[in-house]
């Protein structure tokens, strides 16, 4: 449906994203209209496409999907428009004089014959040209918006495009619509391709083939974690995406290589990697080797310190634990892996004890806020997220990052760290600083690209200790015992009712969902003396009756109930009191922490941060979230799409977190998803209590399914290559001594 009218009142305007609530005069009737407006000034005329809706609090209004500015078509309208202040130099009185002089030719005079404006009292020749120039800028934007909207581009996206290209919008987009992918946030290949094809761009054209090939590599990284692809697979996948012959993509690969947009190399087969990704992964390899080779050779005997710690706390370390502690003190980099109950946290505490005795400082960090909080509670030392410790503003990898002021950096939950975060971390770790990486190799790999933990372990270059001995007291927990059984490919004990691990039988997805709801809403809160929203549902999948989306909506209704004040965004409707998770890294969101009379301000909310909606303002399309660590952030407009309800989350989203109680609904599904390490990861997220809901044969299928999706990553290969390059550049001797040149950037750029 389309309406046309004059803006007579502006009730709300977000200048950052253009979200506006305005009253339009439509044929003499006031119509409240909400949507993204390119600009909003009283007296302006707009055409809006959308539909009438009934807001539970504000009543009937027009929800605009597309808004564009148009010229007023009456003399009174032209006077109000010109007098609104939209054109610099014209007020209400002068607007009336201009219209009285030129009538319905006013806009033509301003645009094409501005010198005639000098006939009007109060307008000099100079002012006439200033008026024309001001109107010209408005006209350029209006023309650009009309051009973009002609190809189905939303007002919000059109505004983003115009903010990047300005007066060159039409020329740039017409020349190469695929440039939008790299230049404008939020535009991917499919959107750009739709625009390009509607503009008549050739199916086999170079710009399209180039964009599709690069998109294939980027999507492979985003969806599957691959940092490169075999060339044959890249060509096959890209040609399928583009629906063109493979020779078209082969030509694009050749040209992209010539442009140095991609790197071609042989690993086990001819492979292709984005040059930007190559620099990140190669940079990680080089930095790790430098840390190892630059490390002061302390050769400190930790035996006495370890014995003192054992006596002080009444524990007995296994030999592999002692080795891990010694390597952490004496090596440039060490990787410590182990499952639950193997003493990883105890090792960290002992390392901190020894460092304190040696007068050395440590920085503790983890990928998520929950993991950092748990690390602090377990060790008694301050820990923070990696992002906050590094002061990251964006996912950039500056050549001159400020180094961390610590002798030793200890990173927990390292399996979550992707190649980009690892590069950022290493950019801030100076040679001579020790790096202790602690994680569980059997957890799901990082959501982001790379296979960092596994590649470091498999490289053979970084000293690695795998903890296999499980503390006796840890085995008293059925959660720990069952987790290790699953990891060995053995069925967990599903029939005990006296411990912390339970199995509730339910057949069929609908019944599994119903039993899950019953447990979370009714039975467990009284049994565990815990609020329903503190029980975390971990789902293998997002969709389906027992998927995260359906359970979130059902749990929201049961826990929060209904509210007139709510905001709809994507899959969810948000209300005050809702439990939510931020699901992307956003370095620009502003937050505050208020503690008494002290207010701390900062920027950045990261993937996996959980909080609660404390305030809703539907009229402003705005909500406030209080995060678990005390930060308060305000979300408006499209920012809200960075949130999801978090009563139920996928297992992948739970990585790095720990919850007192976990309920996991299990139903039949793809064997590529329902794997042993997914079940293992979910169970090890629980601190005190686990309930599996489903049928026993689904548990058995997951336990027996040791499928691990192939990830193409090059870090382990680059570590061997970088070791060779650094040795040649610095003349490293066989015994590992070297005379290093710290200013060299070996391995980070093409040589």
Q: How far apart are CA 107 and CA 115, in angstroms?
A: 13
Answer yes or no: is 717 within a domain: no
Give the residue among 555, 492, 454, 546 at the shortest CA–CA distance from 686.
492
In DSSP terms, which residues pair with 574 in a beta bridge?
567
Answer yes or no: is 741 within a domain: no
Give me the pLDDT at residue 297, please. 65
Question: Which DSSP helix (H) or strand (E) runs through 141?
Answer: helix 125-149
Ranges of beta strands (E only) in 27-105 are 29-36, 45-55, 59-70
Q: What are the CB-based long-range contacts (under 8 Å, 24+) for 694-700? A: 694/505, 694/506, 694/512, 694/665, 694/666, 694/667, 695/505, 695/506, 695/507, 695/666, 696/494, 696/503, 696/505, 698/666, 698/667, 698/668, 698/674, 699/491, 699/492, 699/494, 699/503, 699/666, 700/491
- CATH number of the domain within which 375 lies: 3.40.50.300
Last residue of a domain, one of 684, 704, 724: 704
Structure tokens at 685: 């997220």
Q: Are the C-beta atoms of 538 and 663 separated by less than 8 Å?
A: yes
* Sign of the CA dihedral running 190, 193, 194, 195: positive
Answer yes or no: is 718 within a domain: no
Give me the pLDDT at residue 394, please. 54
- CATH number of the domain within which 124 lies: 2.40.50
Q: Which residues of the chain have pLDDT under 50?
A: 395-399, 724, 726-751
Do 188 and 247 lie in one domain? The reply is yes
Do 136 and 184 lie in one domain? The reply is no
State the residue range of the domain holding 61.
2-149
Q: How far apart are CA 156 and CA 312, in angstroms?
A: 63
Q: Are the C-beta atoms of 390 and 252 separated by less than 8 Å?
A: no
* Sign of the CA dihedral running 476, 482, 483, 486: positive
Give me the pLDDT at residue 642, please. 94
The number of helices, as runs of H, and strands, as runs of E, in the chain is: 27, 28
Question: Which DSSP helix (H) or strand (E) runs through 739?
Answer: none
Do 453 and 525 lie in one domain? The reply is no
- Cα→Cα distances 527→425, 524, 600, 602, 660, Å: 43, 5, 39, 40, 13
Question: Which DSSP helix (H) or strand (E) runs through 380?
Answer: none
Q: How far apart are CA 338 and CA 526, in angstroms?
A: 34
Give me the pLDDT at residue 412, please. 97
Last residue of a domain, one of 440, 475, 510: 475
Residue 6 CB: number of other CB atoms within 10 A?
A: 21
Do 519 and 451 lie in one domain? The reply is no
Do 422 and 495 lie in one domain? The reply is no
Query: What is the secondary structure of 529-585 as a DSSP string?
Result: T--GGGEEEEES-SSSTTSHHHHHHHHHHHHT---SSEEEETTEEEETT-EEEE-S-
Do 470 and 495 lie in one domain? The reply is no
Answer yes or no: is 256 within a domain: yes
- CATH number of the domain within which 248 lies: 1.10.10.2220
Q: Are the C-beta atoms of 682 and 554 separated by less than 8 Å?
A: no
For the chain, the domain total comes to 4
Do 562 and 636 lie in one domain? The reply is yes
Give me the pLDDT at residue 393, please. 62
Answer yes or no: is 287 within a domain: no
Answer yes or no: is 78 within a domain: yes
Task: Look at residue 185 and give its three-state secondary structure.
Answer: coil
Class of residue 360 by CB neighbours under 10 A (exposed 0-12, middle 13-18, buried 19+):
middle
Write the CB contacts of 671 (distance below 8 Å, at least 6 apart in sequence).
701, 705, 707
Angle at alpha carbon of residue 379, lines to 485 and 356, rounded to 5°: 130
Answer yes or no: is 165 within a domain: no
Do 227 and 301 lie in one domain? The reply is no
Do 413 and 303 lie in one domain? The reply is yes
Do 129 and 211 lie in one domain? The reply is no
Do 498 and 643 lie in one domain? The reply is yes
Do 595 and 516 lie in one domain? The reply is yes
């Amino acid at each position: 449906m389309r309406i046309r009218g004059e803006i007579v009142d502006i009730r709300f305007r977000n200048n950052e994203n253009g979200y506006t609530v305005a009253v339009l005069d439509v044929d003499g009737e006031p119509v409240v209209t909400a949507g993204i407006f390119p600009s909003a000034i009283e007296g302006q005329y707009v055409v809006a496409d959308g539909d009438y809706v009934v807001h539970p609090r504000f009543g009937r209004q027009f929800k605009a999907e597309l808004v564009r500015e148009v010229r007023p078509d009456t003399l009174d309208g032209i006077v109000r428009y010109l007098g609104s202040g939209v054109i610099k130099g014209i007020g209400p009185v002068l607007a009336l004089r201009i219209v009285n002089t030129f009538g319905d030719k006013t806009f033509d005079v301003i645009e094409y014959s501005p010198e005639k404006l000098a006939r009007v009292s109060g307008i000099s020749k100079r002012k006439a040209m200033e008026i024309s120039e001001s109107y010209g800028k408005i006209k350029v934007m209006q023309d650009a918006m009309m051009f973009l909207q002609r190809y189905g581009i939303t007002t919000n996206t059109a505004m983003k495009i115009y903010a990047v290209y300005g007066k060159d919008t039409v020329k740039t987009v017409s020349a190469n619509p695929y440039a939008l992918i790299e230049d404008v946030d939020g535009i991917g290949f499919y959107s750009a391709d739709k625009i390009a094809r509607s503009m008549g761009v050739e199916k086999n054209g170079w710009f399209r083939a180039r964009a599709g090939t690069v998109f294939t590599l980027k999507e492979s990284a985003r969806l599957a974690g691959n940092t490169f692809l075999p060339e044959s697979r890249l060509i096959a996948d890209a040609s399928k995406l583009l629906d063109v012959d493979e020779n078209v993509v082969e030509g694009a690969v050749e040209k992209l290589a010539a442009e140095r947009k991609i790197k071609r190399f042989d690993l086990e087969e001819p492979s292709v990697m984005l040059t930007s990704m190559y620099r990140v992964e190669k940079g990680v390899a080089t930095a790790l080797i430098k840390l190892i080779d630059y490390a002061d050779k302390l050769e400190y005997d930790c035996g006495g310190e370890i014995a003192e710690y054992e006596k002080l706390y009444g524990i007995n370390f296994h030999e592999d634990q002692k080795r891990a502690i010694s390597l952490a003190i004496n090596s440039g980099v060490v990787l410590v892996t182990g499952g639950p109950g193997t003493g990883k946290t105890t090792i960290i505490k002992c390392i901190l004890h020894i460092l304190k005795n040696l007068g050395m400082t440590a920085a503790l960090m983890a990928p998520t806020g929950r993991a950092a909080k748990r690390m602090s509670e377990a060790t008694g030392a301050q820990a923070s997220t990696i992002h906050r410790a590094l002061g990251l503003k964006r996912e950039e990898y500056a050549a001159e990052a400020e180094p961390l002021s610590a002798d030793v950096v200890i990173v927990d939950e390292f399996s979550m760290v992707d190649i980009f975060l690892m590069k950022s971390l290493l950019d801030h770790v100076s040679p001579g600083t020790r790096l202790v990486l602690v994680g569980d190799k059997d957890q799901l790999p990082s959501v982001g690209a790379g296979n960092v933990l596994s590649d470091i372990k498999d490289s053979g270059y970084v000293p690695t200790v795998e903890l296999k001995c499980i503390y006796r007291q840890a085995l008293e927990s059925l959660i720990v015992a069952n987790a290790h059984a699953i990891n060995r490919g053995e069925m967990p004990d599903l029939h005990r009712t006296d411990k912390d691990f339970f199995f509730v039988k339910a057949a069929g997805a609908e019944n599994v969902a119903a039993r899950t709801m019953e447990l979370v809403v009714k039975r467990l809160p009284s049994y565990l003396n815990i609020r329903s929203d503190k029980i975390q549902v971990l789902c293998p999948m997002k969709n389906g009756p027992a998927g995260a989306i359906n359970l979130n909506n059902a749990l929201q209704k049961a826990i929060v109930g209904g509210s007139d004040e709510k905001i709809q965004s994507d899959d969810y409707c948000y209300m005050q009191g809702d439990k939510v998770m931020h699901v992307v890294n956003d370095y620009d969101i502003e937050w505050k922490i208020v503690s008494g009379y002290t207010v701390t301000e900062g920027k950045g909310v990261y993937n996996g941060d959980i909080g609660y909606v404390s305030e809703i303002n539907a009229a402003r399309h705005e909500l406030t979230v209080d995060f678990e660590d005390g930060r308060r952030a305000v979300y408006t407009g499209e920012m809200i799409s960075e949130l999801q309800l978090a009563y139920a989350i996928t297992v992948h989203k739970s990585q790095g977190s720990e919850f007192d109680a976990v309920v996991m609904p299990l139903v039949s599904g793809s064997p590529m998803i329902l794997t042993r390490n997914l079940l293992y990861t979910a169970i090890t997220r629980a601190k005190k209590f686990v309930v599996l809901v489903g049928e026993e044969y689904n548990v058995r299928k997951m336990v027996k399914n040791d499928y691990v999706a192939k990830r193409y990553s090059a870090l382990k290969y680059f570590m061997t290559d970088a070791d060779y390059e650094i040795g040649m550049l610095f003349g490293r001797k066989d015994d590992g001594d070297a005379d290093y040149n710290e200013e060299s950037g070996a391995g980070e750029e093409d040589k």
